[in-house]
Amino acid sequence: MRRVVMIAVLLAVVSGCGAPDPGAATPAPVSSSASAEPSGIALPPRPREVRIDGIDPCSLLTAEQRAELGLDGRPVAYTSAHGLFGRAPSCSIRGSDPREVSVGLSVVADRGIEIFTAPGRVTDEVSSLTVAGFPAVLARPTLVRDFCSVDIDVAPGQLLDVQFAQGTRDQPIPQDQLCRDAQRIAEAVLSALLAR
């Protein structure tokens, strides 16, 4: 699957997030897929189910959260269509200050986190995280390094996909920073969802 290329094409140009909150998403004591057992990476159990059927991905961050995260662009809804998730309701949000970035949010209601935990399914470097107590994976592309994603296991067969990308080649952002920012956005998205 050419997940990396397809996701990069689908992401809209977005801007500006501040420094990440290092306590937002924390690594779980599980190794990356490169050194995991043949069965793939293991995730801790989710604390409860949070069904996302019918959720508008553009409603997952409040205006206040977007402002705090430096996302000053208008949320734009679209339907992603790529091999990994199939067709999923998605939203892109831009940010321009202090840097050009983009955020992509997808509500995947028909495929679960096993897309990432089964060995050989993705070419990204995948490691385990927890986000607000929910199991998640950090997917770090190895071919295209201008974005990073966090995928949160919210219910059986359902996940939230959060992608954070640099918005322009003129302002390159190190991938480690993109991954930290993806974790920060994931924490905000899940917090808003749990508060409903």
How many Cα atoms are found within 13 Å in the side-chain-facing hemisphere of 4?
Answer: 16
Paired strand residues for 151: 137, 161
Kindly report, residue by residue over 116-133, the tens digit of the pLDDT: 888 777 778 999 999 999
Reference 139, options 117, 157, 168, 110; nearest CA is 117
The pLDDT of residue 18 is: 35
pTM score of the predicted model: 0.77
Give the pLDDT of residue 169: 74
Pick from 149, 160, 178, 190: which is nearest to 65 by CA? Answer: 190
Mind listing the pLDDT tens digit for each residue in 140-162? 988 877 899 999 999 999 999 99
CB-side neighbour CA atoms (13 Å) of 156: 0
- The distance from CA 158 to its chain's CA centroid, rounded to whole angstroms, is 13
How many Cα atoms sit within 13 Å of 45 on the Cβ side?
2
Residue range 21-45, pLDDT digits in tens:
333 344 443 333 333 333 368 899 9
Query: Which neighbouring-strand residues pair with 158?
Result: 155
> What is the pLDDT, as a whole number, of residue 144?
78
Is residue 67 scored above 50 in pLDDT? Answer: yes
Instruction: Specify the pairing of strand 101-108 against strand 134-140.
Output: unpaired
Categorize the per-residue pLDDT at 172 as very low, low, confident or very high, splitting at 50, 70 and 90: confident
- Mean pLDDT to the nearest integer, 74-80: 95
Alpha-carbon gap, residue 137 to 108, rounded angstroms: 15
Instruction: Tell me phi and psi for residue 159, to 5 degrees.
Output: -150, 160
